[in-house]
Amino acid sequence: MRLPRAVQTRKHRKTISLNDSELAALEKYCQRYGVKNQTAMLRETIFRQIIDKFQTDYPTLWSSRELAKLERF
């Protein structure tokens, strides 16, 4: 399901700086794998990492030690 266009508008800008080797690696990757839109690829990669981290760091009722004990049973 697509969100209405007004919700998808990106109006906040973030800028990153890359050194020469990072830029070369990014350009080589994009050329090798046919990435046409580097901005979209970087955004998707960043948010995939963020979402994965949120999913592993969700709050629990028990400490990690208590959860480890429960997993043994």
The pLDDT tens digits for 56-67 are 877 777 787 887
The pLDDT tens digits for 39-56 are 999 999 999 999 988 888
Whether residue 5 is predicted with pLDDT greater than 80 in this model: the reply is no
The predicted model scores a pTM of 0.66
- Enumerate the domain spans of the chain: 19-56
Mean pLDDT for the stretch of residues 3-13: 75
Report the C-alpha gap between 72 and 27 in whole angstroms.
47
